[in-house]
Amino acid sequence: MQTFTSIEALKAFQGKEAGPGDWHQVTQQAVDLFAQATGDDQWIHVDPERARRESPFGGPVAHGLLTLSLLPMLMAQVTQFEGVRARINYGLNRVRFTAPVHVGARVRVRAVLQDVDDAGEGGVKVTWAVTFELEGAPKPVCVAESLARLHF
């Protein structure tokens, strides 16, 4: 866990990696709830029997956006911010889903702090290069640049 208490601490960490975090299991229940919330109920996600028979993945897989939506929880395992008045999701760049996440698989995150830019009024915009790893897999399942604004 990397703890940041000031803008200066963030700037000093630039170019370094936070993580890896703990493994998080992606369950069928989480996939089903995500499908309900988003309306994306494609059978490769929500019909395990059909997915085992017909899917090129050999079974049900999580939505790519479900994997990406785990980012706040997984980043909280590798970063902590003390004395921050506001922490705001600013967006994402260069998101790629590079491999499927099968239901039951476990993922975790690593993040390299790429940039810390002044945003005025005691705030900064930070850019993290985030990699979602799949337990036992040689390559990541998702990569992205995560942007946030922090106000100390």
What are the beta bridge partners of residue 131?
A: 110, 143
Is the pLDDT at 145 greater than 90? The verdict is yes
Is the pLDDT at 152 greater than 90? The verdict is no
37-47: burial string, b at 16+ Cβ within 10 Å, e else: eeeeeeebbbe
Rg (CA), the chain: 17
88-104: burial string, b at 16+ Cβ within 10 Å, e else: eeeeeeeeebebbbbbe
- pLDDT digits 0-9 by tens, 15-66: 999 999 999 999 999 999 999 999 999 999 999 999 999 999 999 999 999 9
The whole-number average pLDDT for the span 5-14 is: 96
Average pLDDT across the chain, whole number: 97
Beta-carbon contacts of residue 8 (< 8 Å; ≥ 6 apart): none
Beta-carbon contacts of residue 9 (< 8 Å; ≥ 6 apart): none
What is the Cα–Cα distance from 114 to 129, expressed in whole angstroms? 6
Structural domains in the chain, sorted by start: 2-151 (3.10.129.10)
- Lowest average pLDDT, out of 17-21, 70-74, 83-87, goes to 83-87
**pLDDT at 122 (0 to 100):** 80
**pLDDT at 26 (0 to 100):** 99
Share of the chain above pLDDT 70, in %: 100
What is the Cα–Cα distance from 73 to 108, expressed in whole angstroms? 10
Q: What tokens were used for 48? A: 């395990």
